[in-house]
Chain A
Amino acid sequence: MSFAFTPGLSVTKSKIVRKERVLPIAGEVLVKKGDTVLAETIVAQASVPSDIHMRPISYIVGCEPYELPKIMKFKQGDFIKEGDLMAETKSFFGLFHTEHYSKYTGTIELISTVTGMVAIREPPVPVKLSSYIPGKIIEVTENLAVTVETHAAFVQGIFGIGGERHGELMTIAEPDEALTMDHITKECAGKILVGGSIVTSEILKKASDFGVKGIIVGGLRRDDLNKYLGYEIGVAITGQENITLSCIITEGFGEMRMAGHIYDLLNSHNGRPASINGATQIRAGVIRPEIIIPLQDTTNIGEEETLTYGMVIGTRVRVIRQPYFGDLGSVAELPIELQAVETESHVRVLKVKLEDGRVVMVPRANVEIME
Chain B
Amino acid sequence: MELSDNKTNNLEIILATDCGSTTTKARLFKKIGSEYRFVCTGEAPTTVEAPFEDVTMGVRNAVREVEELMGIKILSEQGIQLRHSSKGRGVDLYVTTSSAGGGLQMMVFGLTRSITGESCERAALGGGAIVMDIVSLEDGEPVYKKIERTRHLRPDMVLLSGGTDGGNISDTVQAAEILKVSNPQARFGESFSLPVIFAGNKSAREPVKATLVDVFALKIVDNLRPTVELENTDPARDAIQELFMEHVMSHAPGYDKLMTWTDIPIMPTPRGEGTMFQTVARMERINVIGVGLGGATTNIYSTFDGKFVRTVSANLGMSYSICNVLREATLENILRWIPFPIDPTELDDILANKMIRPTTIPHTLEELIIEHAVAREALRLGLDHHKFLARGLRGAIPKTLLEDTFGDTSLLKSYIDMLRVDLLGGTGGLLSHAPRRVQSSLMLIDGFQPQGVTRLIQDSVFMFPHLGVLSSVNPKIAYEVFDKDAVIRLGTCIAPQGIPENEGEEMLSIELHMPDGNIRTENLIFGDMMRIPLPVGEVIDVKINPNKKCDMGAGPGHELTTRIEGGEVGIIIDARGRPLITSTDRETMKRNLLKWLTNLKAYPEEDLKKYAEMNE
B360 nearest CB across to chain A (Å): 4
Tell me if B554 counts as interface (CB < 8 A to partner A): no
A3 & B143 in contact (Cβ 8 Å cutoff): no
B357 & A284 in contact (Cβ 8 Å cutoff): no
Give chain A residues whose Cβ lies under 8 Å from the Cβ of B364.
322-323, 342-343
Tell me if B148 counts as interface (CB < 8 A to partner A): yes
B363 & A366 in contact (Cβ 8 Å cutoff): yes
Which of A24, A159, A221, A347 is the one whose CB lies under 8 Å from B345? Answer: A221
Of all chain B residues, which has the CB nearest A324? B363
Task: Indicate whether A52 sits within 8 Å of B170 (C-beta atoms), given known contacts A323-B363, A366-B363.
Answer: no
A159 & B356 in contact (Cβ 8 Å cutoff): yes
Task: Indicate whether A282 sits within 8 Å of B170 (C-beta atoms), given known contacts A343-B368, A365-B361, A366-B361.
Answer: no
Tell me if B64 counts as interface (CB < 8 A to partner A): yes
Give chain A residues whose Cβ lies under 8 Å from the Cβ of B183.
25
Of all chain B residues, which has the CB nearest A223? B345
Give chain B residues whose Cβ lies under 8 Å from the Cβ of A309.
57
Tell me if A30 counts as interface (CB < 8 A to partner B): no
A119 & B170 in contact (Cβ 8 Å cutoff): yes
Tell me if A205 counts as interface (CB < 8 A to partner B): no
Give chain B residues whose Cβ lies under 8 Å from the Cβ of A366.
360-361, 363
- A286 vs B21: C-alpha distance when bound (angstroms): 12
B355 & A236 in contact (Cβ 8 Å cutoff): yes
Tell me if B450 counts as interface (CB < 8 A to partner A): no
Give chain A residues whose Cβ lies under 8 Å from the Cβ of B296.
283
B604 & A344 in contact (Cβ 8 Å cutoff): yes
What sequence of 0s and 1s flags, for each residue 302-341 of chain A, a beta carbon within 8 Å of any chain B beta carbon? Answer: 0001011100000000001111010000000000100001
A234 & B324 in contact (Cβ 8 Å cutoff): yes
Among the listed stretches A92-100, A108-116, A184-192, A258-266, which one makes contact with chain B, having 4 or more residues with CB under 8 Å of it?
A108-116
Tell me if A172 counts as interface (CB < 8 A to partner B): no
Which of A344, A348, A365 is the one whose CB lies under 8 Å from B360? Answer: A365
Tell me if B599 counts as interface (CB < 8 A to partner A): no
Q: Which residues of A111-138 are within 8 A (CB) of B?
A: 112, 114-115, 117, 119, 121, 125, 127
Give chain A residues whose Cβ lies under 8 Å from the Cβ of B436.
344
Tell me if A89 counts as interface (CB < 8 A to partner B): no
Q: Which residues of B357-384 are within 8 A (CB) of A?
A: 357-365, 367-368
Tell me if B200 counts as interface (CB < 8 A to partner A): no
Task: Indicate whether A25 sits within 8 Å of B147 (C-beta atoms), given known contacts A4-B61, A7-B45, A233-B323.
Answer: yes
Tell me if B144 counts as interface (CB < 8 A to partner A): yes
Among the listed stretches A31-39, A43-51, A147-155, A270-278, which one makes contact with chain B, having 4 or more residues with CB under 8 Å of it?
A43-51
Task: Indicate whether A307 sits within 8 Å of B103 (C-beta atoms), given known contacts A50-B142, A119-B170, A365-B361.
Answer: no
B556 nearest CB across to chain A (Å): 41
Tell me if A363 counts as interface (CB < 8 A to partner B): yes
A336 & B103 in contact (Cβ 8 Å cutoff): no
Task: Indicate whether A235 sits within 8 Å of B346 (C-beta atoms), given known contacts A24-B147, A25-B147, A51-B142.
Answer: no
A305 & B170 in contact (Cβ 8 Å cutoff): no
Tell me if B527 counts as interface (CB < 8 A to partner A): no
Of all chain A residues, which has the CB nearest B64? A3
We find that the number of chain A residues with CB closer than 8 angstroms to chain B is 72
Tell me if A253 counts as interface (CB < 8 A to partner B): yes
We find that the number of chain B residues with CB closer than 8 angstroms to chain A is 79
A223 & B348 in contact (Cβ 8 Å cutoff): yes
Give chain A residues whose Cβ lies under 8 Å from the Cβ of B68.
2, 336
Tell me if B433 counts as interface (CB < 8 A to partner A): yes
- A322 vs B346: C-alpha distance when bound (angstroms): 12
Give chain B residues whose Cβ lies under 8 Å from the Cβ of A4.
44, 61
Of all chain A residues, which has the CB nearest B150? A24
Of all chain A residues, which has the CB nearest B48? A284
A336 & B253 in contact (Cβ 8 Å cutoff): no
- A169 vs B557: C-alpha distance when bound (angstroms): 73
A342 & B365 in contact (Cβ 8 Å cutoff): yes
Tell me if A298 counts as interface (CB < 8 A to partner B): no
A236 & B356 in contact (Cβ 8 Å cutoff): yes
B61 & A3 in contact (Cβ 8 Å cutoff): yes
Give chain B residues whose Cβ lies under 8 Å from the Cβ of A282.
102, 320, 355-356, 358
Which of B48, B360, B604 gathers the greatest number of chain A CB atoms within 10 Å? B360
B363 & A342 in contact (Cβ 8 Å cutoff): yes
Give chain B residues whose Cβ lies under 8 Å from the Cβ of A110.
170, 174
B76 nearest CB across to chain A (Å): 16
Give chain A residues whose Cβ lies under 8 Å from the Cβ of B102.
282-284
Tell me if A252 counts as interface (CB < 8 A to partner B): yes
Which of B100, B174, B182, B604 is the one whose CB lies under 8 Å from A119? Answer: B174
- A99 vs B85: C-alpha distance when bound (angstroms): 84
- A51 vs B44: C-alpha distance when bound (angstroms): 49
Task: Indicate whether A222 sits within 8 Å of B323 (C-beta atoms), given known contacts A6-B45, A240-B149.
Answer: yes
Task: Indicate whether A222 sits within 8 Å of B433 (C-beta atoms), given known contacts A158-B357, A284-B100, A363-B361.
Answer: no
Tell me if A59 counts as interface (CB < 8 A to partner B): no
What sequence of 0s and 1s flags, for each residue 227-252 of chain A, a beta carbon within 8 Å of any chain B beta carbon? Answer: 00000111111011000000000001
Tell me if B7 counts as interface (CB < 8 A to partner A): no
Which of B48, B49, B352, B362 is the one whose CB lies under 8 Å from A222? Answer: B352
Which of B105, B130, B323, B357 gathers the greatest number of chain A CB atoms within 10 Å? B357
Give chain A residues whose Cβ lies under 8 Å from the Cβ of B323.
222, 232-236
- A25 vs B177: C-alpha distance when bound (angstroms): 13
- A342 vs B369: C-alpha distance when bound (angstroms): 12
What sequence of 0s and 1s flags, for each residue 1-45 of chain A, a beta carbon within 8 Å of any chain B beta carbon? Answer: 011111100100000000000001100000000000000000000
Give chain A residues whose Cβ lies under 8 Å from the Cβ of B362.
321, 343, 345
Give chain B residues whose Cβ lies under 8 Å from the Cβ of A63.
none
- A222 vs B69: C-alpha distance when bound (angstroms): 41
A117 & B170 in contact (Cβ 8 Å cutoff): yes
Of all chain A residues, which has the CB nearest B435? A344
- A239 vs B357: C-alpha distance when bound (angstroms): 18
Give chain A residues whose Cβ lies under 8 Å from the Cβ of B368.
343, 345
B247 nearest CB across to chain A (Å): 15
Task: Indicate whether A322 sits within 8 Å of B363 (C-beta atoms), given known contacts A114-B168, A119-B174, A307-B52.
Answer: yes
A222 & B348 in contact (Cβ 8 Å cutoff): yes
Give chain A residues whose Cβ lies under 8 Å from the Cβ of B352.
222, 225, 252-253
Of all chain A residues, which has the CB nearest B105? A283
Tell me if A194 counts as interface (CB < 8 A to partner B): no
A226 nearest CB across to chain B (Å): 8
Task: Indicate whether A50 sits within 8 Å of B143 (C-beta atoms), given known contacts A221-B349, A235-B320, A235-B323.
Answer: yes
Q: Which residues of B314-330 are within 8 A (CB) of A?
A: 315, 320-321, 323-324, 326-328
Tell me if A62 counts as interface (CB < 8 A to partner B): no
Task: Indicate whether A7 sits within 8 Å of B147 (C-beta atoms), given known contacts A25-B183, A159-B356.
Answer: no
A285 & B182 in contact (Cβ 8 Å cutoff): no
- A232 vs B326: C-alpha distance when bound (angstroms): 10
Tell me if A362 counts as interface (CB < 8 A to partner B): yes
Tell me if A54 counts as interface (CB < 8 A to partner B): yes
What sequence of 0s and 1s flags, for each residue 217-248 of chain B, a beta carbon within 8 Å of any chain A beta carbon? Answer: 00000000000000000000000000000000
Tell me if A211 counts as interface (CB < 8 A to partner B): no
Task: Indicate whether A7 sits within 8 Å of B327 (C-beta atoms), given known contacts A48-B144, A117-B170, A235-B315.
Answer: no
Give chain A residues whose Cβ lies under 8 Å from the Cβ of B181.
25, 48-49
Tell me if A254 counts as interface (CB < 8 A to partner B): yes
Of all chain A residues, which has the CB nearest B169? A114
Give chain A residues whose Cβ lies under 8 Å from the Cβ of B252.
284
Give chain B residues whose Cβ lies under 8 Å from the Cβ of A10.
51
Task: Indicate whether A158 sits within 8 Å of B363 (C-beta atoms), given known contacts A234-B321, A282-B320.
Answer: no
A305 nearest CB across to chain B (Å): 7
Give chain B residues whose Cβ lies under 8 Å from the Cβ of A341.
363
B353 & A125 in contact (Cβ 8 Å cutoff): no
Give chain A residues whose Cβ lies under 8 Å from the Cβ of B171.
54, 117
Give chain A residues whose Cβ lies under 8 Å from the Cβ of B43.
348
Pairs of residues from A and B, 6 with the lowest C-beta to C-beta distance, nearest first:
A283-B102, A344-B435, A234-B324, A284-B48, A254-B349, A253-B352
- In the complex, 21 of the A-B residue pairs with CB atoms within 8 angstroms, ordered by the A residue number, are A24-B151, A48-B181, A49-B181, A114-B168, A121-B143, A222-B351, A223-B348, A237-B132, A253-B350, A253-B352, A282-B102, A284-B48, A284-B100, A284-B102, A284-B252, A305-B51, A322-B367, A336-B68, A342-B363, A343-B368, A345-B362
